[in-house]
């Protein structure tokens, strides 16, 4: 170390040589001080990097472009079982299952083009023949001239993550089976109940209090039947059993039928149901029953989440090759953070002043799945709480051959 005039300590490499006169007598000495700051810094950076790699929890391996292993960190030893002495110099295919050797060719080809391979999920082989699931990130290593001379590979053990995913998938499947069983079992008693209620109500039609009770029974049973049907749909969708019977149909006519069948419900809630004129017609290839279900659900939601005196508007328009139905309301609105999430299963917005309005939070999830099965798109819009909402359904129009 040398002390500079300004007090800085400068790391140096030094050397010394004697100066002799022609007769060989020692005359003096040349001292050479070389500033070694840069050299020390890069040695420090190298040591720093090496210690990061040594302590990494991910296996870090490097190899030549013909697939010979050139370095192997302690995490690689933990994951694959080989010590550096055993594996360095060996072909990388030692840790690749035979049937995946082609995969290595694909990775090497990408590396030669200078490309990186990110989070590539695959299988590797340990020293004792066990298979481990890994996520690989492989990047090219270049020399000072920029030529690709090898590759560094980071392997993360994802066995545990994959197992957790499998457990979650199985739990999800059991949930779908449970929902299907519950819905089936509940559906059974509903039809005879409605039938029996209808008989009782017809027989006693003269007495007003019985008639009132009958109305309640009928409405509540209807509500229960809808919930049960929704549950069945959710479990069908979960198991990929939601099938459509598509036909060419006029979306304008369908939407018009839906709104007129629900008109009395809006009148009873003292809401105005407006049809933006003219609804017009637009042909789509769709399932009549399922599309009716989608728009009835959106209109019933608009009715449910709009206070007395509010207005709900239905509009249909054509945009390029799409038929677009917009159902907007002047109701309680949806906070921005919930606009996408209202389509999640069992999602319900918590409103500070609203009591819960019944429902399971599955209607919009089914609506979205149904719209997507029609190659369409559904979106919620709102300026925020208390400022109304709009649901926009976009379906590709059916191009009829002339």
C-alpha span between 383 and 139 (Å, rounded): 46
Query: Phi, psi at residue 318, to the nearest 5°?
Result: -105, 130
Compare residues 53 and 258 and give the one whose CB is closer to ligand ADP.
Answer: 258
Q: Is residue 331 within the footprint of ligand ADP (CB under 6 A)?
A: yes
> Among the candidate windows 86-94, 130-138, 273-281, 357-365, which touches ligand ADP by CB under 6 A?
357-365
Tokens at 184, concatenated: 């089936």
Nearest approach, Cβ of residue 328 and ligand ADP (Å) = 9
CA within 13 Å, CB half, 247: 7
| From candidates 186, 359, 377, 397, binder to ligand ADP by CB under 6 A | 359
Q: Is residue 349 within the footprint of ligand ADP (CB under 6 A)?
A: yes
Q: Residue 280: CB partners within 8 Å, gap ≥ 6?
A: 252, 316, 317, 318
Nearest to 321 by CA among 294, 282, 287, 291: 282
- x/- track of binding to ligand ADP for residues 362-391 (CB under 6 A): xxxx-----------------------x--
CA within 13 Å, CB half, 80: 29
> Among the candidate windows 25-33, 88-96, 252-260, 345-353, which touches ligand ADP by CB under 6 A?
345-353
- x/- track of binding to ligand ADP for residues 262-301 (CB under 6 A): ---------------------------------------x
Alpha helix (H) residue ranges in 142-245: 159-203, 208-238
Q: Is residue 342 within the footprint of ligand ADP (CB under 6 A)?
A: yes
> Among the candidate windows 19-27, 87-95, 256-264, 327-335, which touches ligand ADP by CB under 6 A?
327-335
Q: DSSP character for 134?
A: E
Query: Phi, psi at residue 399, to the nearest 5°?
Result: -95, 110
| From candidates 36, 347, 373, 397, binder to ligand ADP by CB under 6 A | 347
Nearest approach, Cβ of residue 301 and ligand ADP (Å) = 3
CB–CB of 271/304 below 8 Å?
Answer: no
| From candidates 334, 371, 393, 395, binder to ligand ADP by CB under 6 A | 334
Tokens at 88, concatenated: 């360095």
List residues near ligand ADP by CB under 6 A.
301-302, 305, 329, 331-334, 342, 347-349, 359-365, 389
């Amino acid at each position: 170390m040398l002390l500079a005039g300004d007090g800085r300590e400068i790391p140096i490499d030094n050397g010394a040589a004697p100066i002799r006169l022609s007769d060989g007598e020692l005359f003096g000495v040349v001292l050479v001080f070389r500033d070694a700051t840069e050299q020390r810094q890069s040695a420090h950076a190298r040591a720093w990097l090496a210690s990061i790699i040594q302590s990494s929890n991910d296996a870090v391996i490097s190899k030549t472009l013909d697939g010979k292993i050139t370095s192997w960190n302690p995490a690689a030893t933990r994951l694959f079982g080989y010590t550096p002495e055993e594996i360095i110099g060996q072909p990388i295919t030692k840790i690749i299952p035979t049937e995946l050797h082609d995969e290595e060719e694909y990775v090497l080809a990408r590396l030669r083009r200078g490309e990186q391979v990110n989070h590539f999920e695959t299988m590797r082989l340990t020293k004792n023949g066990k298979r481990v699931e890994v996520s690989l990130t492989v990047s090219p290593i270049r020399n000072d001239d920029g030529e690709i001379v090898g590759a560094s590979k980071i392997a993360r053990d994802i066995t545990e993550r994959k197992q957790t995913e499998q457990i979650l998938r199985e739990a999800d499947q059991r949930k779908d089976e449970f929902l299907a069983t519950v819905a089936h079992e509940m559906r059974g008693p509903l039809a005879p109940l409605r039938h029996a209620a209808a008989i009782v109500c017809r027989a006693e039609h003269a007495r007003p209090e019985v008639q009132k009770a009958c109305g309640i029974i009928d409405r509540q049973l209807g509500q229960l039947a809808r919930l049960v049907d929704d549950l069945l749909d959710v479990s069908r969708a979960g198991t990929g059993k939601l099938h459509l019977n598509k036909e060419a149909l006029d979306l304008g006519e369908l939407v018009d039928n839906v709104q007129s069948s629900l008109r009395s419900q809006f009148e009873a809630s003292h809401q105005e149901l407006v049809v933006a004129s003219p609804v017009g017609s637009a042909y789509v290839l769709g399932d009549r029953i399922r599309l009716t279900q989608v728009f009835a659900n959106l209109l019933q939601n608009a009715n449910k989440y709009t206070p007395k005196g509010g207005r709900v508007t239905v509009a249909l328009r054509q945009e390029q090759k799409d038929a677009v139905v917009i159902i907007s309301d002047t109701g309680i609105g949806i906070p921005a953070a919930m606009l996408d999430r209202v389509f999640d299963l069992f999602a319900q917005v918590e409103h500070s002043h609203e009591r819960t309005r019944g429902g399971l939070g599955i209607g919009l999830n089914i609506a979205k799945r149904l719209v997507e099965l029609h190659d369409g798109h559904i979106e919620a819009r709102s300026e925020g709480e208390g400022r109304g909402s709009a649901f926009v359904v976009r379906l590709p129009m059916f191009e009829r051959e002339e």
